[in-house]
Amino acid sequence: ALSLQALTGYSMQMIIIVMGICIIFYTVLGGIEAVIWTEVVQAIVKTFGALLILYLIVTNMPGGVSKIVEIGNSANKFSLGSFKMDFVGSSFWVVLLYGFFINLNNFGMDQNYIQRYHTASSSKAASKSIWLCVWLYIPASLLFFIIGSCLFAYYELNPDLVETIKHQVAVERLPINASAAEIARIQNALQPSDYGDKIMPHFMVTKIPIGLVGLIVSAILSAAMSTISSGMNASATVFSVDIYKRYIKPDINDKQNLSLLHIATIGFGLLGMIAGIAMIGVKSILDVWWELSGIFAAGMLGLFLLGIVSKQTKNHEAIIATIIGIIVIIWMTFSSLLPPEYENFRNPLHKNMIIVVGTLTIFLVGILITKIKKKKLETAH
């Protein structure tokens, strides 16, 4: 929506609503089959769009690739982070642990991924798709990180463009009748995190040839729609199978279930649109996404691993472990809001460690309670 706003001039709210309606429409009509096949086309368009943007950045960069590498090296943009055992800052180990746990969650139990496995013709085909995804994951991620580093280098050489972006952000934050002095004050106070999400849209508006804008818009739409449509379909399926069919109406027939899936898809689509509108103005959408993913995944992954590894763990032990884990996750998430006098009670670790600590808490507490209960039973006998 950020990029489309810059390209089209329409408001963020309007773009989110129109895109949301379109995604709801084709997801309801086609279900998982429509999601899969549209994602195939979207992935191709998205990849070509990303490569085109990278090419345009490099060709517009004075000095080309060598200058990008020079600026990137001087700003540590190609660094993997500190290798010290530091879990407070964004070190190599924090990123590694977060990546391991979040992808263990994604590939192991996330309905967005699992529903794709089930569309395969056989277990062998599903296994192939998983490994193909694993091998493509790194180069695909690397492509977008390289684009980010190249944009950083380009705008480092063009500070006047950065000031233009900062001015735009300052104007958006103030009322229409704000004075030039107020705009300048806000503009000078802005940090990179305040305008970082505006960099790529600005480059696209100012540097992409008119004839190629359509491809870029398609690539942006593809990137957004592929994630949202699969999420809507997954959420509707989980609601239908794990909530409605299990607790509300176990004897629901296929026709009623199909209608329920359609209604649930529309409902989750509307919720997604509301959430998107509510997040307008967030400093860094990527950071927020990583943080929220870690928070929600921690509890589920810990319980999932406990059930897989410990066959002796019963519902009672699992519930206790989950409650303790959720308490830890809530503390790590919201302890930063504590007043200064309670600073010692704040979470000292990096926010991306929430999924690591939360998962391990549920898993280890569950194992410990199971062993204690087993030992008590053995002693009693």
Which structure tokens are listed for 376? 């008590």
Asked if 262 and 28 count as a contact pair (C-beta separation under 8 A), the reply is yes
Is 236 in contact with 268 (CB distance < 8 Å)? yes
Angle value at C-alpha 268, between 267 and 269, nearest 5 degrees: 90
Separation CA 332–CA 358 (nearest Å): 9
pLDDT for 146: 92
Quick one: pLDDT at residue 97?
92
Contact in structure between 299 and 326 (CB atoms under 8 Å): yes
Cα–Cα distances (Å) from 347 to 83, 334, 350, 351, 352, in that order, read 22, 8, 8, 8, 12
Which contacts qualify for 167-172: CB closer than 8 Å, 24 or more apart?
168/198, 168/202, 169/194, 169/195, 169/198
**pTM to 2 decimals?**
0.73
Among positive and negative, which fits the CA dihedral 232, 233, 239, 242? negative
Straight-line distance from the first to the last Cα atom of the chain, in angstroms, rounded to the nearest whole number = 65
pLDDT, position 177: 83
Pick the CATH number of 2-281 from 1.10.260.40, 3.40.50.1220, 1.20.1730.10, 3.40.50.1100: 1.20.1730.10
- Walk along the chain (381 residues) in steps of 10 and give the mean pLDDT of each run: 68 82 80 73 80 90 90 87 87 90 83 78 86 86 90 92 88 82 88 82 81 72 69 82 85 85 88 80 60 69 85 85 89 83 87 89 91 81 65
What residues does each domain of the chain span? 2-281, 284-381
CA distances from 349 to 234, 328, 332, 352 (A): 32, 12, 8, 8
Position 193 scores a pLDDT of 77
pLDDT score recorded for residue 8: 67
